[in-house]
Amino acid sequence: MIKPVLAIHGGAGAIARAQITPETREQYEYALRHALAGGERVLAEGGLALDAVAEAVRLLEECPLFNAGHGAVFTRDAEHELDAAIMDGQSLRCGSVANVRTVRNPILAARAVMEHSPHVFFVGHNADAFARAQGLACVDPTFFSTTARREQLEAAQRSGSETIILDHDSAVSNTDGQTAAPIDESNKMGTVGAVALDSYGNLAAATSTGGMTNKWPGRIGDSPIIGAGCYANNKTCAVSTTGKGEAFIRAVAAYDVSAQMEYAGRSLEQATNQLIHSKLPAMDGAGGLIAIDAQGNIAMPFNTEGMYRAYVVSGQAPFVAIHR
Amino acid sequence: MIKPVLAIHGGAGAIARAQITPETREQYEYALRHALAGGERVLAEGGLALDAVAEAVRLLEECPLFNAGHGAVFTRDAEHELDAAIMDGQSLRCGSVANVRTVRNPILAARAVMEHSPHVFFVGHNADAFARAQGLACVDPTFFSTTARREQLEAAQRSGSETIILDHDSAVSNTDGQTAAPIDESNKMGTVGAVALDSYGNLAAATSTGGMTNKWPGRIGDSPIIGAGCYANNKTCAVSTTGKGEAFIRAVAAYDVSAQMEYAGRSLEQATNQLIHSKLPAMDGAGGLIAIDAQGNIAMPFNTEGMYRAYVVSGQAPFVAIHR
């Protein structure tokens, strides 16, 4: 009997250890535990890895603390554009949506694309229309807005409207090269994700995001890209990434872990460390990932100060952490 | 001194050998030679691989015979939504656009995203607006329309509006399971692409497409996805794919070739054959690819009846072919 395993993340580039208050830490840890428990329940009841990652990510989307669904960051135009992807390691089926604005849970839209369309990737208002036609809950775009995210946008725009260009730096710089106060890292690399192994030996991965604060409208990062932000294959592993999306696309990050395992015979730990601590830094890629292999091994490396993360092996106590 | 090499394709799933007329064959071969010569000229003048693939794909986009730019297929709503990607194997920089409707040459928009934005992937009207702001030529959407493509849409819709669902079959089937006459395969897997090795040892790849006839609006296939439809890395190879995009996304096809070479030590020929003749057929993936490695080896495998393709090694006679 395989012991089910579930791991989740709420984004790399966490609030600096020196700045986090005990209350804030408690809120994040509570939210991670809550999402983890929701996904674990699915697995404990004999559910599939696919169901578990969808439920865990749905719960993270509902939580205003994380940059996905309710609580998503704002684009340069003060709107929300949400991206999500899901992949089933057993069938290698997958689904993605990008730049959606009205479907309440983008991860459920991604799953509907996978299960109820002949395609695997839909973008924009057509993706929203598809989700609505599938009977998924739709909301007014203001549903996703929070005061904290609006303040982050205003801070980014005050420091120069082109801030996004240097948004991968740890401090905000404007076009004159002036450095402003550091902003919360969570608004840059905020992503949520889940990976799971179910009792039948199936792996699955899911990723969802609001993108980057002050991003140019129409921009798509790695999160909805199968192979970059999300990948699952029963033969190797399930991976969900978080970080500076552009580097993760260039590195084809999520599939790179699987390919290292399949073609170089590396372990999950070796493959994920190689990617996060060697390949990505060489291309200015800051971030992290969560991954599970077919034997239930878990890897959660990151090259930032922190990554909101948690995992649970069925029947054991959950692990929850923010910083190193 | 490295001998520059350029290879191009105009899509897998060519017109059946039994149906092609000598005149049609001549038109396609002329168009392939013309695009190849344009790219070869760039390389012969000491240009970069990146410049050569952009120029070859631009010429293929301008040609009404191929499903990219002028001559692109129609969506279900009788509109055009164009996708393109480009990647530089030296820097691993890349750029993509999807669902653009007004930029005359989507491949130039993809290159502008790579070179003049902080992001790597833009979609929809924001991508068109970015291209316009970059000074790229923009056109009325009817510029892309041709009579032949409109007839293909009408044929697909006559046989049932859900034809796209079974569009990977060799015959058109409607929702009642009735099989209609086979349609030109070129409207299903039509894509154009180019890969090049320049005299400095740099590799580059570019891919552009109009998608699938009668596709659902908002659908994105593999063409603009870095790692699926396009990938280049000086360490390994440059790849541009063509075929049923959904399978190529699930297989992370273009990067899979590079990963087999890097991690399993396979040759370009071994890696591309493994993908096209083993991995993709196992996931119902019909299509092909063109690839060049850092030593100038060329591979052009496909598992369909034909693939419009051509290559030239600097100073030698070009090779042009359609069927096996």
Q: Please name the residues between 119 and 148 in chain B that touch chain A, using a CB distance below 8 Å.
A: 119-127, 129-130
Q: What mean pLDDT is reported for chain B?
A: 90
* Residue B322 counted as domain residue: no
CB pair distance less than 8 Å for A225 and B227: yes
CB contacts < 8 Å between A and B, how many?
Answer: 143
Minimal CA separation from B119 to chain A, in Å: 6
Tens digit of each residue's pLDDT (9 = 90 or more) over B140-154: 999 999 999 999 899
* Residue A180 counted as domain residue: yes
A274 residue type, one letter: Q
Minimal CA separation from A31 to chain B, in Å: 31
Top pLDDT among A11 and A186 is at A11
pLDDT at A179: 33
Tens digit of each residue's pLDDT (9 = 90 or more) over A282-320: 998 999 999 999 999 999 999 998 999 999 999 899 999
Share of chain B above pLDDT 70, in %: 90
**pLDDT-based confidence at B162, cuts 50/70/90?**
low
Q: Please name the residues between 147 and 176 in chain A that touch chain B, using a CB distance below 8 Å.
A: 164-165, 167
> What's B77's domain CATH number?
3.60.20.30
Contacts with A127 from chain B: Cβ below 8 Å? 218
CA distance A170 to B202: 32
CB pair distance less than 8 Å for B226 and A252: yes
* Residue A79 counted as domain residue: yes
Question: Which residue from B minimizes the CA distance to A244?
Answer: B119
Residue A187 φ/ψ, nearest 5 degrees: -85, 0
Question: Which residue from A minimizes the CA distance to B211?
Answer: A119
* Nearest beta carbon to residue B263 from set A127, A251, A264: A264
CB pair distance less than 8 Å for A93 and B218: no
Task: Identify from B119, B125, B230 which residue to disrupt to test chain A contact, counting A C-beta atoms within 10 A and taking the largest count.
Answer: B119
Of A128, A8, A112, which is closest to residue A59 (Cα–Cα)? A8
Q: Looking at the complex, does the CB of residue A315 fall below 8 Å from at least one CB of chain B?
A: no
Of the listed ranges A102-106, A163-167, B260-264, B319-323, the least confidently predicted one is A163-167
Q: What share of chain B is helix, strand, coil (3-state, %, to 5)?
A: 35, 25, 40
* Residue A135 counted as domain residue: yes
Indicate whether B182 pLDDT > 60: no
* Residue A321 counted as domain residue: no
CA distance B259 to B263: 6
* Residue A323 counted as domain residue: no
Segment (H or E) for B125? helix B124-133
Total-model pTM = 0.93
Q: Looking at the complex, does the CB of residue B220 fall below 8 Å from at least one CB of chain A?
A: yes
pLDDT at B173: 33
Which of the following is catalytic: B75, B102, B163, B191? Answer: B191
Tens digit of each residue's pLDDT (9 = 90 or more) over B19-35: 889 999 999 999 999 99
Minimal CA separation from B92 to chain A, in Å: 6
CB pair distance less than 8 Å for B121 and A227: no
Minimal CA separation from A215 to chain B, in Å: 9
pLDDT at B205: 98
Q: What mean pLDDT is reported for chain A?
A: 90
Work out the average pLDDT over A116-140: 96
CB pair distance less than 8 Å for A221 and B121: yes
Contacts with A118 from chain B: Cβ below 8 Å? 164-165, 167, 216, 246
Torsion of CA A150, A153, A157, A161, to 10 degrees: -130
Residues 6+ apart with CB under 8 A from B64: B70, B71, B146, B148
CA distance B18 to A174: 62
Minimal CA separation from A321 to chain B, in Å: 30
Q: B67-89 in b/e burial notation, b at 16+ Cβ within 10 A?
A: bbbbbbbbbbeeebbbbbbbbbb
Residue A158 φ/ψ, nearest 5 degrees: -60, -35
pLDDT at B287: 95
Tens digit of each residue's pLDDT (9 = 90 or more) over A5-63: 999 999 997 778 888 899 999 999 999 999 999 999 999 999 999 999 999 999 999 99
**pLDDT-based confidence at B114, cuts 50/70/90?**
very high
pLDDT at A90: 98
Task: Identify from B91, B115, B175, B252 which residue to disrupt to test chain A contact, counting A C-beta atoms within 10 A and taking the largest count.
Answer: B252
CB pair distance less than 8 Å for B99 and A124: yes
Beta strands in chain B (DSSP E): 5-12, 82-88, 94-100, 121-123, 192-197, 203-209, 230-232, 237-243, 287-293, 298-299, 306-313, 319-323
Contacts with B255 from chain A: Cβ below 8 Å? 227, 252, 255-256, 259
pLDDT at B1: 79
B201 residue type, one letter: G
CB pair distance less than 8 Å for B126 and A94: no
CB A309 within 8 A of CB A1: no
CB A238 within 8 A of CB A231: yes
Q: Looking at the complex, does the CB of residue B82 fall below 8 Å from at least one CB of chain A?
A: no
pLDDT at A188: 58
Indicate whether B297 pLDDT > 80: yes
Indicate whether B163 pLDDT > 70: no
pLDDT at A199: 96
Question: Which residue from B minimizes the CA distance to A220?
Answer: B121
Of the listed ranges A163-177, A295-309, B159-173, the least confidently predicted one is A163-177
Q: Looking at the complex, does the CB of residue B260 fall below 8 Å from at least one CB of chain A?
A: yes
Task: Identify from A93, A263, A280 which residue to disrupt to test chain B contact, counting B C-beta atoms within 10 A and taking the largest count.
Answer: A263
CB pair distance less than 8 Å for A94 and B263: no
Indicate whether B179 pLDDT > 80: no
CB B42 within 8 A of CB B31: no
Work out the average pLDDT over A126-143: 97
Give Cα separations from B305 to B17, B195, B229, B240, B241 (angstroms).
Answer: 8, 22, 20, 18, 16
Q: Looking at the complex, does the CB of residue A90 fall below 8 Å from at least one CB of chain B?
A: no
* Residue B122 counted as domain residue: yes
Q: Is B147 a catalytic residue?
A: no
Strand B121-123 relative to strand B94-100, pairing = parallel
Indicate whether A163 pLDDT > 60: no
pLDDT at A186: 43
Which of the following is catalytic: A75, A102, A163, A191? Answer: A191
Contacts with B221 from chain A: Cβ below 8 Å? 119, 121
Top pLDDT among B244 and A256 is at A256
Q: Looking at the complex, does the CB of residue B46 fall below 8 Å from at least one CB of chain A?
A: no
Q: Is the dihedral of CA B61, B65, B70, B76 positive or negative?
A: negative
Of B206, B253, B5, B11, which is closest to residue B89 (Cα–Cα)? B206
pLDDT at B253: 98
Minimal CA separation from B319 to chain A, in Å: 32
* Residue A303 counted as domain residue: yes
For A97, the token pair is 């949506």
Q: Looking at the complex, does the CB of residue A94 fall below 8 Å from at least one CB of chain B?
A: yes
Indicate whether B174 pLDDT > 60: no
User: What residue numbers bound the domain in which B81 lies?
Assistant: 5-316
CB pair distance less than 8 Å for A227 and B217: no
Task: Identify from A119, A128, A278, A284 which residue to disrupt to test chain B contact, counting B C-beta atoms within 10 A and taking the largest count.
Answer: A119
Of A201, A213, A280, A273, which is closest to residue A247 (Cα–Cα)? A280
Number of Cβ within 10 Å of residue B29's Cβ equals 15
Domain count, chain A: 1
Q: Looking at the complex, does the CB of residue B283 fall below 8 Å from at least one CB of chain A?
A: yes
Work out the average pLDDT over A265-269: 98
Indicate whether B69 pLDDT > 90: yes
Tens digit of each residue's pLDDT (9 = 90 or more) over B44-65: 999 999 999 999 999 999 999 9
Listed in sequence order, the DSSP H helices in A20-105 are: 22-44, 49-62
Indicate whether A141 pLDDT > 70: yes
Strands across the sheet containing A237-243: A230-232, A237-243, A287-293, A298-299
pLDDT at A190: 84
* Nearest beta carbon to residue B92 from set A93, A127, A283: A283
Segment (H or E) for A253? helix A253-264
**DSSP structure class, residue B92:** -
**Residue whose token pair is 């296939």:** B221
CA distance A156 to A111: 33
